[in-house]
Structure 1
Amino acid sequence: MKFDLAYCLSLDDKLSIYDVRDLNFDETMEFDSAKEHFQCPNDACRSAFDAANVLGTFNAKNVNYMRTPHFKNIPSTRHVEGCPYVSLRTPASGLEMDGAESDDSREEHFPSELLLTRREYVRKPASPAVAADVMRDDPKPASAASNVEHPSRESAPDKTSVFAHPVECFVSNFEDKELLKRMPLKIGEHSAPYGSFFKKIEYLQDNKGLIYWGKIKEIKDYTQSFRIDFEQKVWFKQPDEAKKKPYSVNVYLSKKLIDNYRKRKAFLEEIKHAVDSDAELYCFFYGVTPELKQVPSKKNPEQTFGVFSANIENLDHFIIREAPGLAGK
């Protein structure tokens, strides 16, 4: 069984797996999921065991991934009878049963809103290791470690500040068009079903303020800055033209934007890997809409040509990744 929410002992809060990934790569905060203690998000179940009863993670630290990240039960994980997170692999008895859990199921937890302000965290004074030792010596309900009352939030949070979460929902459920039509998403003042909020790059003229995505044709590496060229073109008719014609689309990532990014190392690893990759890659971004611009020709600087272009303003809302399910779509 997989689930994307767990209680983090050191932060005394419930995190989604996407929160954990975000913290792992954030250079402004010390956090390593491999050293953290994650426990069952069900309050009653968690309080029945000591801090040594932990969950595992899948794809929490890989910068590039194709299979949906999640928390998972490990062979030693125990749950109380009736806990919704008891699974074939880890029943309440703690013994394994026939039937392996799948690590590559699609994302089932759809956040209804992408918050544009990042979530903030406050670490408890005691380290997870110290807390775990204390709990083993003097077992107490895990929830007693803090006087903070946790809301009953046993499914994924309804809202997220991590862009990768709604993107994974869209990518891993791409074939289920009816589901994407039913599930709502809100960003800022704009609300629409997932299927409508994610707009193919060639249709960017339909509406502004959406999540645009498309297959990458080429990544121009200028050493300290990058340009992403999309394979699909936008058909557009200028006032002085008789009919529509195709225009290339690209987005630009400046050196200043990258240098000031809190996850700079992870981002550079992500994009350098993309530059060297032969795989089909897709780009998703939010916050800017490419517009028609006139740029000088390299062969003849006195001449210009039109291209739909935009400067990315926030790398928290920008992703390059493999997405096999989108191939040919």
Structure 2
Amino acid sequence: MKFDTAYSLSLDDKLSIYDVRELNFDETAAYDSEQDSFLCPNDACRGAFDTGNALGTFNAKNVNYVRTPHFKNKTSTRHIEGCRYASTHKAAAGENDDEREDNFPSEWVLTRRQYPRKPAPAGTEGSLPQAHTKVPSPQATPSHGASDHTPDKTSVFAHPVECYVSNIDDKDTLKRMPLKIGDHTATYWAFFKKIEYLQDNKGLIYWGKIKAIKDYTSSFRIDFEKKVWHDKKPYSVNVYLSKKLIDNYRKRTAFLEQIKAAASSERSLYCFFYGVTPELKQVPSKKNPEQTFGVFSANIENLDHLIIREAPRVE
């Protein structure tokens, strides 16, 4: 049984697994999902049981994740009669690993979601309450899943990317599902643009297979395999990640671990990014600084809006 969201006991709010992963890697947030308890997102169902009736998670803390992790029922998890989150069969181990993401958010919010902590009752510091029979508090953010229905918004870039990648062989769905980013609304199919066609339109989510990642110790350059044709000539494409950008990133440790592993990996990896459009620039030649050559390049401005991952379905 796949859960779109689950109720976090420590945050008194409903989280997607993408939210959980954000919190696990955020060095500015004192959060560890292993110390939290996740309960059924159905308010009526959750209120019928105590806090020991929790869900499980898997793959939620793996930095170099390949698939989207999920919440799941434990063998001991109980649900009220008629709850749509009750398992109708006993899933085999790892069965949910390869499920495509069918929870399509209709809006990707560019402002990062805030996760206010629930005040701990007096005398229970460092521990979770032992009983819970109420519905989520009114201050829970409704746009991020304050009901047990599929949330229609997300602030985590990995969510729309997973929707696109895992459904790449279902173009009809991608051309039908709407997505809003800022003031622009289009379909998933229209918003995701292969890097070699970046001149077609600005303000899209560009993506492509990585040719190489140049590790400059404190900064990185991602070179794409495909080239852009401009004035009947092929030009290389790259994006640059500055030292300042990385040093100020709230998920710096996890990001450095991932990109360094990607730089030395022999696997086929892909880069998805949003917020900048590579432009044609003249770069000095290393062999002869007086000469220049053209390249489509851009400086990434927000690491929350860049993902490096495997994407076997797009081949």
TM over 0.5, shorter chain:
yes
Alignment of 1:124-143 (within 5 A): 124-126=118-120, 130-132=127-129, 134-135=130-131, 141-143=133-135
Change (3 A) 1:150 1:196: closer
State the shift of 1:154 in Å: 1.2
Query: Which residue identity lines up with residue 280 of structure 1 in the other structure?
Result: S
CA RMSD of aligned residues (A): 1.8
2:243 maps to which of 245, 252, 255: 255
Question: After superposition, what is the alpha-carbon deviation per residue over 1:14-46, rounded to whole angstroms, capped at 9, x for unaligned?
Answer: 111101100100000111111111000000000
Structure 2 residue matching 1:110: 3-state secondary structure: coil
Partner of 1:104: 98
Q: Is the 8 A contact 2:13 2:140 kept in 1?
A: no
Partner of 2:58: 58
1:305 maps to which of 260, 279, 293: 293
2:198 maps to which of 204, 225, 235: 204
Question: After superposition, what is the alpha-carbon deviation per residue over 1:177-229, rounded to whole angstroms, capped at 9, x for unaligned?
Answer: 10100111111111110011000000000000000000000000000000000
Question: After superposition, what is the alpha-carbon deviation per residue over 1:40-59, rounded to whole angstroms, capped at 9, x for unaligned?
Answer: 00000000000011111122
State the shift of 1:156 in Å: 2.9
CA distance in 1, matches of 2:214, 2:261: 13
* Aligned length in residues: 308
Partner of 1:233: 227
Query: Which residue identity lines up with residue 133 of structure 2 in the other structure?
Result: P
Structure 2 residue matching 1:169: 3-state secondary structure: helix
Structure 2 residue matching 1:131: 3-state secondary structure: coil
Which moved further from structure 2: 110-119 or 59-68? 59-68
Alignment of 1:147-226 (within 5 A): 153-226=147-220
Q: Is the 8 A contact 1:37 1:128 kept in 2?
A: no
Partner of 1:276: 264
State the shift of 1:131 in Å: 3.4
Partner of 1:240: none
**Fraction of identical pairs, as percent:** 73
CA distance in 2, matches of 1:211, 1:272: 23
State the shift of 1:88 in Å: 2.7
State the shift of 1:311 in Å: 0.1
CA distance in 2, matches of 1:149, 1:162: 17
Q: Which runs of 4+ in 1 moved over 3 A?
A: 97-101, 127-132, 146-152
Q: Is the 8 A contact 1:68 1:172 kept in 2?
A: no
CA distance in 2, matches of 1:200, 1:107: 20
Q: Is the 8 A contact 1:49 1:142 kept in 2?
A: no
TM-score by length of 1: 0.89
Partner of 1:46: 46
Q: Which stretches in structure 1 are left out of the alignment for 5+ residues? A: 90-96, 238-243
